[in-house]
Chains A and B, each alone.
Chain A
Amino acid sequence: MKHTLSVLVENKPGVLTRIAGLFARRGFNIKSLAVGETEDPEVSRMTIVVDGDDRIIEQVTKQLNKLVDVIKLSDITHDEFVDRELVLIKVHCDASNRSEIIQIVDVFRARIVDMGRNSMIIEATGDSGKIDAIETSLRPFGIRELVRTGKIAMVRGPKTRNGEA
């Protein structure tokens, strides 16, 4: 099963390597990983989606916690959280199917950010389910290129990253 881990780490060089290295060496499987600064410039937030059974996830969290640069880690899989991912899709199009594609874009509340004679680039944000869905819907037209940012997530409600309400 997929788990979403929200990890606060020291914002300094080499931390990403430490985490990526840990996953590689222990044979854990990263599905996606997104990093960025938080409101505190000394701290970054990583959202890591990992695949594995409970034993594996337990090891992942414990091993991550051992890294000196990992400040706090929460497995938010079972929390109420908002998650988003952004995708850019370059899809093949021509006069015959352009309107059909535009319709799909509308349905998913996505945007067209570039339009050429034979292709267009579509930008969509949403949770992973939605991103998967738009990808599937566009696939028949011929996807030429696709980039996903990986998921970022935030727990709902008043709780903040330090656990304070």
Chain B
Amino acid sequence: MGITAAQALVKGLEEENVTKVFGYPGGAVLPIYDALIDSDIQHVLVRHEQGAVHMANGYARISGQPGVCIATSGPGATNLVTGIATAYMDSVPVVIITGQVATSMVGTDAFQEVDITGITLPITKHNYLVKRAKDIPRIIKEAFYIARTGRPGPVLIDIPKDVAASTIEYQPVEKVELRGYKPNYKGHPQQIERAVRLINKSKKPVIYVGGGVINSGATEELYELAWKAQMPVTTTLMGLGSFPEDDRLSLHMLGLHGAPYANYAVTNADLLIGLGVRFDDRVTGAIEKFAPQAKIIHIDIDPAEIGKNVVVDVPIVGDLKLVLRDLIEKLEPQEHLEWLEQIEQWKQEHPLQYGNGDRLRPQYVIEKLGELTNHRAVVTADVGQHQMWAAQFYKFTRPRSFLTSGGLGTMGYGFPAAIGAQIADPDALVVTVTGDGSFQMAMQEMGTAVEQNLPIKVLLFNNNSLALVRQLQHFYCDKRYTAVSFTGNPDFAKFAECYGAVGLKIETRDQVEPVLKEALNNGRLTIIEVSISEEELVLPMVPNARGLDEMVQFPFGEEDQCE
């Protein structure tokens, strides 16, 4: 019996075990929306397509399954671009379905036509323009396979309206056959041997962990490896949560705003083991000063990452879970007493710290949040100072518990990602840490959260400023502040109320605990507006073109901050 290609699409989604999709309708996807009515797949109606793709991203990062979003042709599709690029940079599996004008109109600048496969070429792992309805089942299968396997990433399927409306014989596809796409999972045994030898020889090893470990589900293996060989672990922003931050071996985050001891450890290490990382510029600082004494082992699923930014001594291409298993088996238990002692000393002498006193400090709020949630909430962060404070002070203990846009640094990611996260895990406690600037980039999604009845907590640090940019102007532009100050901001608590959500305020230090407690326990969508000074600085900070150990550290700047 024939069904429409749109129905085939929905069926394909069902076969991929999709239960939620995020989207916004429009003319070119009407057939798809009509097919959705008859499916058990739950559709979450967003308020801007940007929200849909970030939600799919958050959903994917929590569930480990590809997130799916749908948008109409033209502006619907272009509104996804930032979100697609965000997912691409952070290797998040997302399948994006866009409507397109009818095949006969493609290429004529028709109403709501854009060449979305052309536009997203640089920011998708792969994309498809479906020309024949009967290809739909195969393409869906391939798209999910490509999005999910190897180094995950976004895959876009562009479906012209007439194609979606036409009838086909549905035949489920059993197997994916892609001549040009065969990810490699097993690490090369000889390289693993070489890695083992390097580790055995090392006196001052550091493990440097990124999002790849979380993607591959290798956090237990990481823990075993670290303990068996007594190697301290530092993580990137994307790697937070892969290794418990309350563990003795944890060095917390490294890089631009990393912990001083993490940056010192990397700078002094004789062996750096990079697991699922990219040696990104935010992490390495001046590349020639990065881990200058260290041999480097780099394990990653994506061969193109290896050797891209630094020269690697032992490259291993493969799935981290498998490779680490092999590695652990071959490795003798080690001790690095001296090295760990040295690190302990750095931790004592250069802790992550902030100014105290009576003033309401954002870092303090984050610390309290960590305590009150037992370090086990799902935290999503936007982009700005608040993001760095969340990364520095929350102390993550579980994988897939910190979501933020690491590679693209997309403001407006945090809140929709929280919605996606909460939908993926309805029982989780989901908190968004955001800034006044970032929140406004996706604030319309309050409507979605209300409609879906999601008890998300939005912890909004309001400094009436784009303060991270202000901080850059402080350091690099001689405190000549331009275009960073917001005077038209709403009263965010009232804003919450106009959606029927709860709005709370924290204005003093002693309000922090009671108000947070109230919010965390009220079971409702809540905005907690925390008023802070725009003059706060995120420290430490590695200045441009400096090595990691050349950080500017606390108490820099404290004296000229007005109390």
- Among the listed stretches B91-99, B173-181, B433-441, B445-453, which one makes contact with chain A, having 4 or more residues with CB under 8 Å of it? B173-181
Residue of A nearest to B304 (CB): A62
A65 beta carbon closer than 8 Å to chain B: yes
Interface of A is mostly: helix
Bound together, the chains give a CA A4 to CA B302 distance in angstroms of 23
Partner of A17, one of B118, B126, B304, B308: B118
Contact present for B181 and A68 (CB under 8 Å): yes
Contact present for B304 and A10 (CB under 8 Å): no
Interface on B for A, CB 8 Å cutoff? 117-118, 121-122, 125-126, 129, 146, 178-181, 302-304, 307-308
Query: In the complex where A17-B118, A17-B121, A66-B302 touch, is A10 in contact with B307 (Cβ < 8 A)?
Result: no
What is the distance, in angstroms, from A4's C-beta to the closest C-beta of chain B?
Answer: 20
Query: In the complex where A14-B117, A58-B307, A62-B303 touch, is A68 in contact with B122 (Cβ < 8 A)?
Result: no
Query: In the complex where A21-B121, A21-B122 touch, is A59 in contact with B180 (Cβ < 8 A)?
Result: no
Partner of B180, one of A17, A55, A70: A70
Other A-B pairs beyond A14-B117, A18-B121, A59-B308, 5, CB < 8 Å:
A17-B118, A21-B121, A62-B303, A66-B302, A68-B146
Give A67-122 interface residues, CB cut-off 8 Å to B: 67-72
What B residues does A10 contact at CB under 8 A?
179-180
A159 beta carbon closer than 8 Å to chain B: no
What B residues does A70 contact at CB under 8 A?
180
Contact present for A59 and B304 (CB under 8 Å): yes
Query: In the complex where A14-B117, A21-B121, A25-B122 touch, is A71 in contact with B179 (Cβ < 8 A)?
Result: yes
Category for how many chain A residues contact B: 20 to 34
Query: In the complex where A14-B117, A21-B122, A66-B302 touch, is A71 in contact with B307 (Cβ < 8 A)?
Result: no
Interface on A for B, CB 8 Å cutoff? 9-10, 14, 17-18, 21, 25, 55, 58-59, 62-63, 65-72
What is the distance, in angstroms, from B117's C-beta to the closest C-beta of chain A?
Answer: 7
What A residues does B180 contact at CB under 8 A?
9-10, 67-72
What is the distance, in angstroms, from A162's C-beta to the closest C-beta of chain B?
Answer: 11
What is the distance, in angstroms, from B540's C-beta to the closest C-beta of chain A?
Answer: 31
Bound together, the chains give a CA A71 to CA B126 distance in angstroms of 14
Bound together, the chains give a CA A14 to CA B129 distance in angstroms of 10
Q: List 8 A-B contacts (CB under 8 A).
A: A10-B180, A17-B121, A21-B122, A67-B126, A68-B126, A68-B146, A68-B178, A69-B180
What A residues does B307 contact at CB under 8 A?
55, 58-59
